[in-house]
Amino acid sequence: MLIALFGAVESGVIYAIMALGVYLSFRVLDFPDLTVDGSFVTGAGISAILIVNGTSPVIATLIGALAGFIAGCLTGLLHTAGKINALLAGILMMIALYSINLRFMGQPTVSLLNESTLISQIQSAWASTGIDTGLNAVLQALGADRVPTTWGIFIVMTVLTVVIKFLLDYFLKTEIGLAIRATGDNQKMIRSLSANTNFLIIVGIGLSNALVALSGALVGQLGGFANLNMGIGMIVIGLASVIIGEALFGKKTITRVTLAVILGAIVYRIVVTLALRVDFLESSDLKLITAVLVIAALVTPKVLQARREKKRRLAKRAALVEQKEREASA
Amino acid sequence: MLKIEDVSMTFNENTPDEKKALQRINLELEKGEFVTVIGSNGAGKSTLMNVISGSLIPDVGDVYINDQNVVHLPEYKRSKMIGRVFQDPMAGTAPSMTIEENLAMAYARDKKRKLVPGVNKKRKDHFREYLETLNLGLEDRLNAKVGFLSGGERQALSLLMATFTEPYILLLDEHTAALDPSRAELITKITKDVVAKFGLTTMMVTHNMQQALDLGDRLFMMDKGQIIFDIKGEEKQNLTIKNLLDEFQRIRGKQIESDRAVLG
């Protein structure tokens, strides 16, 4: 159980990078970008095939992210220059990427099991530090009977995700970042303030997909393979993370939302892990669980809000009746 | 400062809905001139504004700003030189962003946007100073989201954002029409103040004849895509609503009918 949860948090931190990308397109630019399903695989596939062919894992991962950036820019171009509806532009790019990814990968699955990947490098570098023994001793003292094999991946990936979060926070407050946010908020206004909204959309969707592809590359290396179908439903998982995060942890400021999105991605993984341990649910039910989660995260806050409002009105009404009675008796 | 030469624009050409929105418009505004534009619906006022701002490209003709022909310059490039306030108070600001962020975006209008923070201590002080001139207490709410402001406050902010970088041209498109009378009066007063303060070359479209007479030093009356009446200086100062209506009747040989109520 503990190991399963640890695994959930570990992969949650990596998926959080993808969720930040989805946040950038879906929330900041108000652009429902379905490229994600394809660009996630692009990141995983290209980095995997490069690693298999002997490229250093760091470079391979960065090239994977770059490929995602290019794919996103193309979606942005379809939407701005081609004037294609945002949803359709994303779907077209997603479909095109399916073939493109297969071209790059050469086969539907690229195995990384015997390769030196970023993840295995972190693992071995970490093992030499000996921090694991200390952390696991603490866990065992707390009564855990089984302990994680390595803390390295979790800690290094958390640092990476947090660094990306802070970079994103900073970026969204720069002059260019403000213009990107305004593009999602009021395009007419920011155009009248001399911003090239088409360029900003292209760059914004590009960056979003770069994060998605980076996440894909890391997920592929963590799992030990890249598969042509590993991106199916990724956009929904990204949305789930954003929506769950916002519902649970608030969305008042940029810094707050980006943190909420990361936590949302982790919560999503934990919930899925727990759900799959329920006897009658099978791993093929994963997509259904995701859909139910998103629906719950969307509906619950509204229901709670409506209930609070009703309670408030009833209280006011009771107070009014009381006041009237007092006035009548006076 | 602003020169328009032979600009014509027809919508839905060669269809039953054909509309000659602008017919060979020629005009020239001196630096610092403030012209008010009146005319009934469909007279071509908004089309003229859109041709100047770059939202529309005219069929023929040229638009010069500061002696540069801008007619083929895309809207976002032209808006380095043009400040604009729209009729809809929601249109000129980004609601989910804060007051200081909105001002920062306006501040970057005539510069190249960079990867440096949009808001810093120094700019904040600047913004506060500018906001104080509005007398709306907005200087104490720099971190409030603009979506929480009232229509009048948002329009005042839009006006500030359109003007404080001192653009070559200021375009006001019925920017008080959606406000209640007291707010409209406030915005009119602020308009007068900022235009005078920065000496902005301004073109203001209005449906309110009194406002057109009170503000500015020049007046255009438009009808059917043409400027049919252009008056400035002392003559403009002595103009009354009755003069305007008579003038319209003299030129067009008919009374202003449908819009008379609105125009009064």
Q: Which residues on neighbouring strands pair with residue B64, listed in sequence order? A: B3, B69
Paired tokens of A213:
């592809």
Residue B136, SS3? Answer: coil
Distances, alpha carbon B117 to alpha carbons B122, B160, B182, in Å: 12, 21, 37
A 168-187: CB under 8 A from B: 170-171, 173-179, 181-182, 185-186
| φ and ψ of A282, to 5 deg | -115, 165
DSSP for B184-204 reads HHHHHHHHHHHHHHHT-EEEE
CB A68 within 8 A of CB A209: yes
CB atoms within 10 A of CB B181: 8
- Which tokens belong to B186? 């406030």
pLDDT tops 60 at residue B262: no
Q: Which residue in this structure is represented by tokens 């960056």?
A: A207
A50 plus A153 within the same structural domain: yes
Cβ–Cβ of A194/B97 closer than 8 Å? no
Between B259 and B53, name the one with better pLDDT: B53
Token pair of A65, please? 């992210």
Q: Is residue B110 in some structural domain?
A: no
pLDDT band at B233 (very low <50, low <70, confident <90, very high): confident
| CA distance linking residue B232 with residue A162, whole number of Å | 63
Question: Which of A275-284, B235-244, B250-259 shows the lowest per-residue confidence on average (mean pLDDT)?
Answer: B250-259
Q: How far is B160 from chain A (nearest CA, A)?
A: 12
Distance CA B73, CA A293 (A): 49
Residue A252 sits at the chain B interface (C-beta within 8 Å): no
Q: Are residues A292 and A273 in the same domain?
A: no
**Contact at 8 Å (CB) between A14 and A162?**
no
pLDDT band at B256 (very low <50, low <70, confident <90, very high): low
- What pLDDT, on a 0 to 100 scale, did the predictor assign at position B39? 87
Q: Is the pLDDT of residue B258 over 80?
A: no
Q: What's the whole-number mean pLDDT along residues B238-254?
A: 81
Say if residue A182 is in the same domain as residue A60: yes
Instruction: Looking at the complex, report in whole angstroms how far the Cα of residue A291 sits from the nearest Cα belonging to chain B.
Output: 28
Domain count across chain A: 2
Q: Is residue B23 part of a domain?
A: yes
B193, B14 contact by CB (below 8 A) = no
Q: Does residue A149 sit in the same domain as residue A187?
A: yes
Domain check: are A263 and A295 in the same one? no
User: Domain of B187: which CATH number?
Assistant: 3.40.50.300
Strand intervals (E) in chain B? 2-11, 19-29, 34-39, 60-65, 68-69, 82-85, 169-173, 201-205, 218-223, 226-232
Instruction: Say what the pLDDT of residue A132 is.
Output: 84
Tell me: do A291 and A171 sit in the same domain: no
CB A226 within 8 A of CB A112: yes
Please check the confidence at residue B255 and state whether its pLDDT lies above 50: yes
Could you tell me the two tokens for B26?
């020629």
Residues A180-223 have pLDDT tens digits of 999 999 999 999 999 999 999 999 999 999 999 999 999 999 99
Residues 6+ apart with CB under 8 A from A273: A4, A5, A7, A8
Q: What distance in Å separates the CA atoms of residue A189 and residue B146, rounded to the nearest whole number? A: 13
Where is average pLDDT lowest: B127-131, B231-235, B247-251? B247-251
Q: Is residue B120 part of a domain?
A: no
Are the Cβ atoms of B94 and A189 closer than 8 angstroms?
yes
Q: Are residues A239 and A161 in the same domain?
A: yes
Q: Which residues in chain B are contacts of A197 at CB distance < 8 A?
A: 76
Higher pLDDT, B250 or B142: B142
Where is the domain boundary, A232, A252, A277?
Answer: A277
- The one-letter code for the residue type at A191 is R
B141 within some domain: no
Same domain, residue pair A194 and A329: no
Contact A221, A48 (CB under 8 A): yes
Tell me chain A's radius of gyration from C-alpha atoms: 23
Residue B91 pLDDT: 92
A211-225, B86-100, B164-178, B238-252: segment of lowest average pLDDT: B238-252
In the structure, how many helices (H) and strands (E) does chain B have? Answer: 10, 10
Phi-psi region of B206 (alpha: psi -120 to 50; beta: other; left: phi over 0): beta
Cβ contact, residue pair A186, B94, below 8 Å: yes
Q: Which domain holds residue B11?
A: 2-94+150-263
Q: How many domains does chain B have?
A: 1
Q: Which of the residue ranges A275-279, B22-26, B116-120, B145-149 would you say has the lowest mean pLDDT?
A: A275-279
Average pLDDT, chain B: 89
Q: How near does any CA of chain A get to the CA of B141, in Å?
A: 15
Q: Do A244 and A107 fall within a single domain? A: yes
For residues A32 and A52, state if they share a domain. yes
Using pLDDT thresholds of 50, 70 and 90, give the confidence band for residue B140: very high
- DSSP summary character for residue A183: H
Closest CA to A220 of A65, A2, A70: A65
A189 lies in the same domain as A317: no
Determine the Cα–Cα distance for residues A263 and A257; give it in Å rounded to an integer.
10
CATH number of residue A185's parent domain: 1.10.3470
The list of chain A residues with pLDDT below 50 reads: none
What pairing do the DSSP bridges indicate for beta strands B60-65 and B226-232?
A: unpaired
Give the CB-side neighbour count of residue B214, counting CA atoms within 13 A: 11
Residue A281: its pLDDT value, please? 87
Residue B113 falls within a domain, yes or no? no
The tens digit of pLDDT for each residue in B30-62 reads 999 999 999 888 888 999 999 999 999 999 999
Residue B163 falls inside a structural domain: yes
Contact B80 A189 (CB under 8 A): no
Q: Which residue in B49, B77, B101, B119 has the most chain A C-beta atoms within 10 A of its own C-beta, making it the best mutation to test that interface? A: B101
Name the residue of chain B whose CA is nearest to A196's CA. B76
Q: Which of residues 51-90 of B touch A (CB under 8 A)?
A: 53, 74-77, 79-80, 82, 84, 86, 90
Environment class of A103 (CB within 10 Å of its CB; exposed 0-12, middle 13-18, buried 19+): exposed
Q: What is the mean pLDDT of residues B126-130?
A: 93
Q: Which residue has the higher pLDDT, B239 or B94?
A: B94
Q: Domain limits at A297?
A: 286-330
Of B90, B109, B119, the CB nearest to A194: B109
The answer to the question of residue B157 being in a domain is yes
pLDDT value at residue B246? 84
pLDDT of A188: 92
Instruction: Work out the pLDDT band at B254, boundaries 50, 70, 90.
Output: low
| pLDDT, tens digit, 9 for 90 and up, residues B178-226 | 888 888 999 999 999 999 999 999 999 998 888 888 898 999 999 889 9
DSSP B13-28: TTSTT-EEEEEEEEEE
- What's the CA gap between A235 and A26, in Å, rounded? 10
What's residue B146's pLDDT?
Answer: 95
Share of chain B above pLDDT 70, in %: 95
pLDDT of residue B257: 52
Q: Is B123 inside any structural domain? A: no
Tell me: do A292 and A225 sit in the same domain: no
ipTM of the complex: 0.89
Which tokens in the block code for residue B221?
Answer: 């009356």
- Residue identified by tokens 């073109």 is B203
For the beta carbon of residue B258, count every other beta carbon within 10 angstroms: 10
